[in-house]
Every structure is written in structure tokens, then in C-alpha cells.
Amino acid sequence: MFPKLDPILHSELRLAVMSILADVESAEFSYLRKQTNSTAGNLSVQIDKLSAAGYITVEKGFKGKMPCTTCKITPEGIEAFNNYVNALKEYISL
């Protein structure tokens, strides 16, 4: 019996964002955009979905005079990400 893959994470851009956030304290929107090579609109939508699922927190602030959005993975996000990776490994080994 295959473990069910988390539908929130099983999307390329959301998974890319979670992979980056799993390794860092927090990351700015501009960094995520550069790393994932995505459009601002699409990234914003996917970040909202991850935030709604409780996997990341999004903090909007300012850096000097420029608006700055910072994303951080939550403990629930880390758990979901680990479960997702373990499920993938099972898929591949079977």
C-alpha cells in the first residue's frame, strides 16, 4: 500500500519553496523568487496556499523604505515536509 502524498506539497513550485525554507531560518520573497525562477504572481499564490495550510508563516514588513515579505517554515510544515520525503522514498523503493 503506497502512502498518500500530501497534495499541498505535491506541486513543483510549492515543493521548491518548502525545500528552500526547510534549510533556512527564514527567506525573503525576492530570494524565493530568484531561486525558484518563478513569476511574482504565481509565487504569491503558492505562498498563500502554503500559509493557509499552516506550513509556513508570512510576515510583511519593510526593509528600509522597501516592502519586504518574509516566509518561515512552521513545525507543522517541517513535519509535513519530512512525511512527504519519506513517502517519496517509499514510492521509489517499491
Enumerate binding residues for another protein (CB under 8 A).
Answer: 5, 10-13, 15-16, 19-20, 22-28, 30-31, 34-36, 38-39, 41-42, 46, 63, 84-85, 88-89, 91-92
Task: Give me the least distance between CB of 39 and another protein, in Å please.
Answer: 6
Task: Give me the least distance between CB of 46 and another protein, in Å please.
Answer: 8
Q: Rounded distance, CA 47 to CA 32, Å?
A: 10
Of 26 and 48, which CB lies nearer to another protein in the complex structure? 26
Contacts for 56-64 with beta carbons within 8 Å, 24 or more apart? 56/17, 56/18, 56/21, 59/26, 63/28
